[in-house]
């Protein structure tokens, strides 16, 4: 979702830039990967490292070993990394040690929670990057407070929104609501995948009870992440709890965008969905104690409730009874971020 619009933006400069895509294979679910590549109209990756699962150390190390081979063979002038996953920091470290410039898209986001692996990845990647492309104003403040030189920092907006804007019309043609017999603005969309939420059997049981309670008032559709699915099966939730709770396999980008746009409420622990719901003006409850995307709370429709599920249920019931949070779209979330990134990199190099 972040690489696709950047790749499209560079097509305008084909005579000047050779832009190649390396898929590390960190997100190793074949079904998820295939669906997203097709939906986002991305070409087959030029390099596929096939790293797969493993501990954080194993994954990071394996990406570094395989990505070093790519850099030594290709000798690029610059690499672009996105987000905050293990691949982000691993590729950045390899490039920095080979004196290859690094551009980090979505730089400067901070949860200030170092128990999150993503926070460590963000901090390290930003510290060694040459270009830091910031999606929201909190990122500017964070990077300046960390002593990053101003001439490395560029406030460009949010590439996730580029994909959203580009595919909204296609999402309007999706039949996903009809496929699951959902009524627009009368269902709850759920996504949960963070270890802190889904790896504890007790907490997972409490979540399932929350959804049973909410399903008395609304239909719930829950596309289940592979990690969450594994833990749910182990906890005995292999099938739906009742007819109002729809558990599905991972859903492709276009269909998921249609679900997001038409939901009455989203309950999530995802970073990207906080942003997408804010842009679309859809009510969102984030089941986390912190967020690296504060603009979605300060300006948008997101409410950071925490992991007290009694508070989550109370907030959800208030929203369903009409007590909604009004929001606005943050600055430069206009669908043109990737164009700005490409222009900056072309002008600087």
Q: How many C-beta atoms surround the C-beta of residue 63 within 10 A?
A: 25
For residue 28, give the 3-state DSSP assignment.
Answer: coil
Rounded-to-integer distance, Cα 25 and Cα 53, Å: 9
Per DSSP, helices labelled H in the chain are 3-10, 30-39, 56-74, 86-97, 117-128, 137-145, 159-171, 176-179, 195-198, 201-214, 226-234, 253-262, 271-280, 295-298, 309-320, 337-348
The residues, any chain, with a CB within 8 Å of residue 156's CB and separated by 6 or more, are: 133, 134, 135, 332, 337, 340, 341, 344
Q: What are phi and psi of 342, to 5 degrees?
A: -60, -45
For every residue of 241-269, DSSP letters joined together read: SSTTEEEES---HHHHHHHHHH-SEEEE-
225 among known catalytic residues: no
Rounded-to-integer distance, Cα 71 and Cα 94, Å: 8
Provide the token pair at 248: 């599905």
Rounded-to-integer distance, Cα 128 and Cα 290, Å: 25
The residues, any chain, with a CB within 8 Å of residue 40's CB and separated by 6 or more, are: 1, 4, 163, 167, 253
Q: How buried is residue 318: exposed, middle or buried, by Cβ count under 10 Å (0-12/13-18/19+)?
A: middle
Q: Which of 19, 27, 166, 193 is catalytic?
A: 193
End-to-end CA distance of the chain: 25
Q: Choose among 100, 99, 143: nearest CA to 123.
A: 143
For residue 133, give the 3-state DSSP assignment.
Answer: strand
- Catalytic machinery residues: 193
């Amino acid at each position: 979702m972040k690489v696709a619009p950047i790749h499209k933006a560079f097509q305008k400069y084909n005579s000047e830039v050779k832009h190649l895509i390396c898929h590390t294979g960190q997100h190793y679910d074949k079904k998820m990967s295939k669906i997203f590549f097709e939906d986002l109209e991305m070409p087959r990756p030029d390099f596929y490292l096939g790293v797969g699962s493993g501990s954080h150390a194993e994954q990071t190390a394996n990406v570094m070993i395989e990505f070093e081979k790519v850099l030594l063979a290709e000798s690029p002038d610059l690499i672009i990394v996105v987000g905050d996953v293990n691949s982000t920091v691993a590729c950045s470290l390899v490039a920095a040690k080979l004196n290859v410039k690094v551009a980090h898209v979505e730089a400067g986001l901070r949860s200030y929670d170092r128990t999150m692996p993503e926070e460590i990845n963000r901090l390290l990647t930003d510290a060694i990057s040459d270009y830091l492309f910031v999606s929201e104003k909190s990122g500017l403040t964070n990077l300046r407070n960390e002593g990053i030189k101003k001439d490395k920092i560029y406030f460009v907006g949010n590439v996730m929104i580029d994909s959203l804007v580009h595919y909204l019309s296609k999402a309007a043609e999706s039949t996903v609501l009809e496929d699951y017999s959902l009524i627009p603005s009368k269902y709850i969309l759920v996504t949960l995948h963070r270890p802190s939420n889904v790896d504890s059997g007790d907490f997972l049981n409490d979540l399932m009870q929350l959804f049973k309670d909410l399903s008395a008032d609304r239909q719930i559709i829950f596309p289940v992440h592979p990690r969450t699915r594994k833990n749910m099966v182990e906890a005995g939730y292999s099938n739906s709890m009742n007819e109002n709770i729809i558990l599905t396999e991972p859903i492709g980008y276009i269909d998921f965008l249609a679900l997001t746009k038409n939901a009455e409420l989203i309950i999530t622990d995802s970073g990207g969905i906080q942003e997408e719901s804010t842009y679309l003006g859809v009510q969102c409850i984030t089941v986390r104690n912190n967020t690296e995307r504060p603009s979605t709370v300060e300006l948008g429709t997101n409410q950071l409730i925490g992991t007290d599920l009694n508070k989550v249920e109370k907030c959800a019931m208030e929203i369903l009874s009409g007590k909604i949070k009004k929001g606005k779209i943050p600055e430069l979330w206009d669908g043109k971020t990737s164009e700005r990134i490409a222009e900056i990199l072309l002008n600087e190099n």
